[in-house]
Amino acid sequence: MKRGAFITFEGCEGSGKSTQIRLLSERLKREGISHIVTREPGGSDIAEQIRAIILSGKNTAMCDECEALLYAAARAQHLRERVQPELERGTLVLCDRFVDSSLAYQGYARGLGMKFIEEINAFALRDFRPDLTLFLNISPKSAFERKHGADENDRMEQLGLNFHSRVYEGYLKLAESYPERIVKVDCSGTKWDTAGNIYDILKNRKIIN
């Protein structure tokens, strides 16, 4: 049986990833295309427990190294427990965030360095990479305006516009470095326009027929 495709969605807070994944999933269901939707950090019971520790607003003392390793640990578990078994069954897997989030947030915006984040994730993932990454290209300023500010219970969202602007810059650099794998999605129209753009990309890449 042919292995399923692994598609990841990336972008800044409020970029509309979750909405777009939901719209795509609804369309794929209507068309009878078998797929699952999952997310990071999380996507399996153990990884969701790690997510709660990482994002808890109480954990302000967490150092950057601990944060980067916890994201990688959650990813290792999620990949083996959930993603790989589905791909082996031939299922299309749609994942809200993956390793590029660690590169943009911890590597670039936190300043830990892309190389260090590549290394810990190479260990966690044994060099496994997405088949295609859709980067929802909207600046954090517009995204926060659209979602009416940051969530005060979320440690990452509370980091402010400067931090999130660096995340955005990190994503743009990644898209330049991996032009084949990372596609920038035009989000300047309505959510329906963006959904159409995403559907067309999947068709052009022959991920769906």
Long-range CB pairs of 117-126, under 8 A, 24+ apart, other chains included = 117/68, 120/68, 120/69, 120/72, 121/72, 121/75, 123/72, 124/72, 124/73, 124/75, 124/76, 124/79, 125/75, 125/76, 125/79, 125/99
33/81 with CB nearer ligand TMP: 81
Of 87 and 105, CB closest to ligand TMP: 105
> Does residue 6 touch ligand TMP according to CB under 6 A?
no
Question: What are the C-alpha distances in Å from 62 to residues 57, 78, 114, 155, 176?
Answer: 10, 22, 20, 10, 31
Among the listed ranges 20-28, 29-37, 95-103, 197-205, the one in contact with ligand TMP (CB under 6 A) is: 95-103
- In the numeric block, the tokens 């516009």 are attached to 161
- SS3 (DSSP) at 154: strand
117 touching ligand TMP, by CB under 6 A: no
DSSP 8-state code for residue 107 = I
Alpha carbons 20 and 103: distance in angstroms, whole number: 22
| Contact string (CB under 6 A) for ligand TMP, positions 23-42, x = contact | -----------------xx-
Nearest distance from C-beta of residue 156 to ligand TMP, angstroms: 3
- Is 105 a residue that touches ligand TMP (CB under 6 A)? yes
Does a cis peptide bond (omega within 30 degrees of 0) precede residue 130?
A: no
Q: Which is nearer to ligand TMP, 38 or 101 (CB)?
A: 101
- Cα dihedral 4/10/15/21 (nearest 10): 10
Asked if 71 interacts with ligand TMP (CB under 6 A), we say yes
Kindly tell me which residue out of 70, 87, 92, 156 binds ligand TMP, with binding defined by CB under 6 A: 156
Q: Is 130 left (phi over 0), alpha (psi -120 to 50) or beta?
A: beta
Identify which range of 24-32, 87-95, 101-109, 186-194 contacts ligand TMP by CB under 6 A.
Answer: 101-109
- Piece of 78-86, 94-102, 131-139, 173-181 that binds ligand TMP (CB under 6 A): 94-102
Nearer to ligand TMP, 131 or 208 (CB): 131
Q: Does 183 bind ligand TMP (CB under 6 A)?
A: no
Among 21, 77, 91, 97, binds ligand TMP (CB under 6 A): 97
The residues of the shown chain that bind ligand TMP, judged by CB under 6 A, are 13, 40-41, 71, 97, 101-102, 105-106, 156-157
